[in-house]
Every structure is written in structure tokens, then in C-alpha cells.
Amino acid sequence: MLSCFRANIRLKCKGPHYLTNRTTLHHSRNVSCSSALAYPTNHLAINMSKDSEPIEVGEEHINLQPGHAVISTFDLFSIGVGPSSSHTVGPMRAGKIFIADLQELGLLGKVKTIKIVLYGSLAATGTHHTPQAILLGLEGSDPETIDTGTIPSRYEAIVTNKVLHLGGKHRITYDMDRDMLWRWDQVLKTHPNGMRFSCFNEEGDLLATNEYFSVGGGFVVNDKTKVDENLFYKGVDKSAVHGARLHQTHSLSESLPEGALSNKDNEEAYQDPGHPPYPFESGDSLLALTKKHNLTIAQIVHDNERYFGLTDADINDRIMRIWGVMDDCIRTGVTTAEKTLPGRLNLRRRAPMLYRRLMRGFYPGISSSNLPMIGAGADSLPVGAIEEPESTDSPSSTSHSTKDNVSERKVSKRSPWVVGSFDHAVLPMPPRRTMIPAVDFLSCYAIAVNEVNAGGGRIVTSPTNGAAGVIPAVLKYIVEFVSDDPEKSVTTFLLTAAAVGMLFKRGSTISAAEGGCQAEVGVACSMASAGFAACMGASPETVLQAAEIGIEHNLGLTCDPIDGLVQVPCIERNSLGAVKAVTAAQLSMASHGVYRVTLDEAIEAMRLTAADMSVKYKETSLSGLATTVKIPLTVPAC
């Protein structure tokens, strides 16, 4: 097993060197100073294999690599920073991994310059977030712990001062205009989200180079090892990890092997202490496991987590931490004092206004110390209410009197009450703001999360950042309006949703650069549908049918963000995804036994759709809304 992690690295003075348990760094002593000065070009890494050469976007023979299976819930749900898991979290992790490899090889102190080439979708979406993420990753920052408020100022300092501190300590000169190249019209064969890092010494000789691919959900892989680098990033010893968690098991260009795991396979896996007790490759095999062992889907996933070295307490703590970040994200989104989102669109934040409207008539000053992170009780905030954090930027909950609230409503802007003619056979209807409160809460929660994400805030990839609002919104609704045991509901929901996410990651993709928005909001909708049905006590068969309905009606959904920003149509689309998730779950529970399409068939349909979809609709902003919506050359606040 260890051999799959090894890579030959030719050091200049010491002969062959082997790096284990991480990635492949290519070392070269044949690049002259003049060649280095001419870099970056598309043929920098002379000793790279032919498979690594870039190809033109749109070529029919693009050989996309597999969709990288994951077994652990905590590989699928990870804490990061907005606005994109593929374009922010993944690149930041790649930068940190590259620096860690240089340190391990003793090369970091010799680095004089670093060159970065971005390919395909990473280059096509422009300078909005990927450059910041890579440079801060090279400085040693990671998405889970970085102070999100310092990202803009740190990036500005790097660009202005032309100084980069590798690993936070080794100072080099870095010129953005010279040292970062954008190959938006080319992709590397492994994945559309490719990046190449190369470093040079003072003489201009190439010290080391490597390629990384951000494959969705914050996962980073290296072309040579085909290993999810999240494992290294999280401090996991890859040599001791189950193979299904490491290796890429499926490709968009190839269908899944027919047949699920046999009963014999499951029995052998159960007896092997080095493997999870309940491995599954498809929805059918997962359903068979639940029937054979009389377990729910959440219980199957929970027991698998134990075989990754986690105790029941560890699993519970990690799940609650994930939910805590999700809940904090909603709270931040509805209480922020910021008016607009960053970027040329000058998009106004809506979550605070939507939430204030929903809370009219409630008493915001009532709070409880019980369940501060999980939900509201009878003596706490009103159902659906969120206690504002103590902040000088946010108004105190006690600062508004009833008179102030009434006054505010009187002066608030409204549409005309009547539009139309009373001298008509069909009389006009006066507009109403709220029709279905459940839908309003779901929409508000989802928009809150995605506005925090768009602003570069703390986020949970679920399964990606661009679709990060769907799952928290549906789960928040369950906790506040449905559940009698919030902690149990959180656990059941996230473990069930994770199982569905694993099936998509193995059988298709969770990367918009491979499959468009069906791979992000579509998958998130499917996961949330399953989680909602599970929390309502649905059978495993009904849970998987809810997941199928959730994805079936998102097939073909394109990813065409305006100006490359994760704002339009992304934020509203998460709102609709949350509503569709609940609708799908309710439909599955109301029509048991009348299904025609299975989840596995829907996942395969999504894979085929993704493979056939034009690259223009895969996170490249080359068509669709990205081209029909015109952005003014001058925008207020720019």
C-alpha cells in the first residue's frame, strides 16, 4: 500500500529521494536560469509525464479522473472559508501542502521565487478568491482556523509590498503580475480545476514542482498519488487509512461496476478490523445493509466512523462542532450590519431584512441558557428566532422599543397596494409579503449562510461552499420547528446526509467544474432531502427515494456565476434548493411504494449529464447568466 504514495524526487546533490505518505514533488536540475526567467510557460516541468500536459478547453478527449469516493462524514463535511470550496478552500490547502513538502525535503530555505499557473475553471473565474487562497496557503494558513477578517488586508499587503512569507517565516519576493499565470482556455487532464506550483532557487534553477487539483468540496488531490490530500491536511496517516477513503474509484467517463457488494464481501469487511464494518458502493447496497443488520442509514454511517479511530464521544463532538459552525453562520448572516456583498455586482444583503420581517410580533429579548447551540425550547427564544450575538456592530435586542418597531414599519418602503384597474372583470389582488412561513424561514436561513459565504466568512462545506446554505437551512428548520430532541436530530440528519453525499462523490461528482450546479446545489438538495426524511422517521427505502427526488429535478442545472462571484444565481439557488429538499422528502413520505427511478439510476443520469454538459456551463462564467447580464463599468462603492 505504501508504494502508491511514493514518488521519485531527484535532489541535486543526494541522488534519489523518496517521499512517503504525501504527494509527489518533482525535483529538476535541468532547468537553466534563462529557462526559469522565461517561466511560466505551458511546458515548464520538462520531466513531467505526458498526462500532465495541458490540453485545450473544449477538446472531446478530456479524460476526467474519478469522482473520489469518501467514507468518512468528517472528510465530506469540513470547516473552511468562503466563498468557494473548489476555488478557495481547495487552493488554500494545496498551497499549505506544497510548503509542507518543501519543508520536509529541506528545500524551503533555498526558495527564491515561486511561480503559479492556474488552469481551466480556476483561471476562468478571475481574481476574486483563488489567488488570495493560494497565497495565504503558501504562508501557512488553513481554511479552518484562518481569521476570515484579515484575509483582504493580508492579500492586499502581499500584492502591494510584493513580499510573501512561505510557511509564515521564509521571506521571498512575489510579484502577482509576473509570478501568477492564468490559463483559462486550457485544462490539465486530471480535472478542470488544476494548479501548478513551481519554486526556483537564487540561480533560477527549478527546485521542485507539483500539480494539485481541487475536485470539489474542498478536496485536493495530486495527480501522481490519486489521494485525497484532505487526509494529510487533517493529520491522518494515509498508510493506516482504509483504501476506499484514499483512492479515486470512479470517473465521469466510465460507468460504475455493475452489482453491489455481496453479502460475503460485507461479512469479510465486518471481520476485518482494518475496514469499516458496513462498506457500501451504491444506494442498493446501502439499503441491503440496513435491512440485513436492522440499522438505519445514520447508524450505518456512525458505526463506520468508529473504524476510523473515533469513539462515540468523538463522533458526537465532531458532529456538534459542524452543526455549531452552521448555526453560527446563520446567526451571523441574519444579524450582520454590513449592507452589501463584496464585488462589482454591489449586491445588497437580504438575510437581515428577511429575518427582521419574520420576527415581527415576537419578543427578541427572551433567551435561555439551555441548548445554546442546538435549538430553542419552550422557555427560550420564540420558535425560529435567533439571539443576536453581543457586538458593538449589531443593535442590542433591548435597544428597540415597541414604539420604534411600529415607527419603522410605518416608514418602510412598500409596493403599491393595488396594481391594476377596478373597472375590469378580474379585480386586482393586493400584494402580500408572507404566504407560507415555513418556506420563508427556509429561504432566510439558506440566504443567510450563502451571504456569509459570499463575503468570505466561516463556512461548512456541505458538500461544497457554493451549496453550503441548503443543508444548514433544512437542519435549522428541523431543530427549531420539528424536533423534540434537537441533538438526536442533528446527528441523524448529518450522518444520513453524509451517506448520500458519499454515493454522489463516488458515482458522479460534487464539483461544479465537472458537473455544473447539479453537482453542488443538486447534490446538497438530495442530501438534505434524505436527512429531513430520516428525521421524520422515514424508512431507509423512503429516505433514499427522497434523495432521488431531490436530485432528479436538479439534473442539468448549470453553473454560470455572474462575474465569477458566488453570488448570482448561487445565493437564491440555495434558497430554492432548501425548499425543494423539504418538498422532495414530503413527497417521498406521502407516496410510499410508487417509485420508478432509483437513487443509483439518478446518480448515473447525473454522471452522464455532467459528461455531456458544455464546459461553458461548468463554473467557467463563459455563457448563460454570466454573459447575458451586463455589469456596468462603474459601480457605486467600487
pLDDT, residue 254, reads 60
Q: What is the pLDDT of residue 355?
A: 95
CB 199 within 8 A of CB 207: yes
Spell out the residues 6+ positions from residue 417 whose beta carbon is closer than 8 angstroms to its own.
430, 431
Contacts of 199 (CB under 8 A, 6+ apart): 102, 107, 111, 112, 113, 114, 115, 206, 207, 208, 209
| DSSP tag of 518 | G
Query: Lowest-pLDDT range, 14-23, 205-214, 389-398, 572-581?
Result: 14-23
% of residues, the chain, pLDDT over 90? 58
Lowest mean pLDDT among 185-189, 204-208, 433-437, 560-564: 433-437
The CATH number given to 2-45+55-241 is: 3.30.1330.90
Q: How many CB atoms lie within 10 A of CB 454?
A: 28
Contact between residue 16 and residue 102 where contact means Cβ atoms under 8 Å apart: no
What pLDDT, on a 0 to 100 scale, did the predictor assign at position 232? 52
Residue 513 has pLDDT above 70, yes or no: yes
Write the CB contacts of 100 (distance below 8 Å, at least 6 apart in sequence): 22, 167, 232
Tell me the per-residue pLDDT of 150-180, one tens digit each, with 9 for 90 and over. Answer: 999 999 999 999 999 999 999 999 999 999 9
* Beta-carbon count within 10 A of 287 CB: 21
Q: Which of 202, 233, 206 is nearest to 217 (CA)?
A: 233
Q: Tell me the C-alpha distance between 547 and 599, whole Å.
A: 7
What distance in Å separates the CA atoms of residue 141 and residue 446, rounded to the nearest whole number?
Answer: 28
Length of the chain: 638
Mean pLDDT, residues 480-486 taken together: 95
The pLDDT score that the predictor gives to residue 318 is 97
DSSP-assigned states of every residue in 167-188: TTTEEEE--HHHHEEEETTEEB
CB neighbours (10 Å) of residue 372?
12
Set of cell numbers at residue 557: 442545472
How is residue 614 written as a grid cell?
A: 458544455
Find, among 214, 182, 187, the residue nearest to 85 by Cα.
214
- Return the C-alpha cell found at 149: 477578517
Say what the pLDDT of residue 620 is: 86
The CA-atom distances, in angstroms, between 137 and each of 21, 74, 96, 97 are 20, 21, 5, 8
Q: What is the predicted pLDDT for the residue at 274?
A: 52
- C-alpha span between 129 and 107 (Å, rounded): 28
Domain 315-387+435-628: which topology? Answer: 2-methylcitrate dehydratase PrpD (1.10.4100)
- Which residues belong to CATH 3.30.1330.90 in the chain? 2-45+55-241
- The CA distance from 226 to 238, in Å, is 12
Contacting residues for 584 by C-beta, under 8 A, at least 6 apart: 525, 526, 529, 546, 547, 549, 550, 553
Mean pLDDT estimate for the chain? 79
What pLDDT is recorded for position 120?
87
Output the pLDDT for position 121.
85
pLDDT reported for residue 602: 98
CATH 1.10.4100 placement within the chain: 315-387+435-628
Return the pLDDT at 4.
35
What are the tens digits of pLDDT across the range 194-223? Answer: 999 999 999 999 999 999 999 888 888 886
Residue 188 has pLDDT above 80, yes or no: yes
Q: What is the pLDDT of residue 222?
A: 81
251 within 8 A of 471, measured Cβ to Cβ:
no
Q: Phi and psi of 232, rounded to 5°?
A: -65, -45
Mean pLDDT over 89-118 rounds to: 94
* Segment 404-444, tens digit of pLDDT: 434 344 444 555 555 677 788 887 776 666 668 899 999 99
Cα–Cα dist 538/186, whole Å: 47
Residue 339 identity: K
Bridge-partner residues for 116, per DSSP?
180, 197
Q: Residues 321-331: pLDDT tens digits?
A: 999 999 999 99
pLDDT in tens, 50-81: 344 565 544 433 333 333 344 689 989 999 99
Classify 556 in phi/psi space as left (phi over 0), alpha (psi -120 to 50) or beta. left
Q: Does residue 221 or residue 520 have the better pLDDT?
A: 520
| Type of residue at 506 | R
User: Alpha carbon 511 to chain centroid distance?
Assistant: 9
* DSSP three-state, residue 597: coil
DSSP letters, 6-61, are --EEEETTTEEEE--SS---B--S---HHHHHH---TT--TTS-GGGS-EETT-TT
- Write down the residue that cell numbers 455481496 correspond to: 262
Share of the chain above pLDDT 70, in %: 70
pLDDT grade for 40, boundaries at 50, 70 and 90: very low
- What pairing do the DSSP bridges indicate for beta strands 113-119 and 180-183? parallel
When pLDDT is averaged across residues 219-231 and rounded to a whole number, the result is: 64
Phi, psi at residue 10, to the nearest 5°? Answer: -85, 110
| Three-class secondary structure assignment of 539-573 | CHHHHHHHHHHHHHCCCCCCECCHHHCCCCCHHHH
Nearest of 377, 379, 383 to residue 359 by alpha carbon: 383
Distance CA(448)–CA(450), nearest Å, equals: 6
Higher pLDDT pick, 240 / 183: 183
Contact 155, 131 (CB under 8 A): yes
